[in-house]
């Protein structure tokens, strides 16, 4: 896989969805420096700032790039809510957050075969 072409596709996708999600006030970067641990993607946000770094797995298929980028951008939006959730409820809240994100992704991208009771499998 051509790394430069992959990077260009993902950065273009980030810019497209950053605008659609009204995140233009954020500085959002794509990093190929680290592999996300056990996930297809990961997003880190700077505390107190509007800066985020998105990483995607090098094992990601081209057809999975947009879904993964949108997922991580929605994670960026929702990470601010974590500080309001008590530690005792975080696990349940994480499961619900991922279900909400998946529903939004499938609505945004016009995917019609989503079953809300199924957990999204993570590829190892």
The dihedral sign for the CA sequence 15, 118, 81, 36: negative
The domain of 17 spans 3-109
pLDDT band for position 9 (50/70/90)?
Answer: very high
Is the model's pLDDT at 13 over the cut of 90?
yes
Asked whether residue 31 is assigned to any structural domain, the reply reads yes
Asked whether residue 123 is assigned to any structural domain, the reply reads no
Rounded to whole angstroms, how far apart are CA atoms 101 and 91? Answer: 15
Q: Which tokens sit at 87?
A: 């530690």
What is the predicted pLDDT for the residue at 21?
92
Q: What's the CATH number where 95 sits?
A: 1.10.10
Number of domains in the chain: 1
Asked whether residue 116 is assigned to any structural domain, the reply reads no
pTM over 0.85: no
Asked whether residue 29 is assigned to any structural domain, the reply reads yes
* Span 53-111, pLDDT tens digits: 999 998 888 888 999 999 999 988 888 777 778 777 878 888 888 888 888 888 888 87
């Amino acid at each position: 896989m051509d790394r430069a072409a992959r990077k260009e596709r993902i950065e273009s996708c980030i810019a497209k969805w950053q605008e659609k999600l009204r995140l233009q006030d954020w500085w959002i970067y794509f990093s190929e420096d680290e592999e996300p641990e056990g996930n297809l993607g990961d997003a880190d946000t700077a505390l107190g700032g509007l800066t985020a770094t998105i990483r995607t797995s090098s094992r990601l298929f081209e057809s999975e790039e947009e879904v993964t980028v949108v997922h991580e951008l929605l994670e960026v939006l929702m990470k601010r809510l974590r500080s309001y959730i008590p530690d005792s409820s975080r696990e349940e809240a994480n499961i619900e957050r991922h279900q909400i994100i998946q529903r939004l992704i499938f609505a945004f991208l016009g995917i019609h075969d989503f079953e809300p009771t199924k957990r999204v499998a993570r590829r190892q």
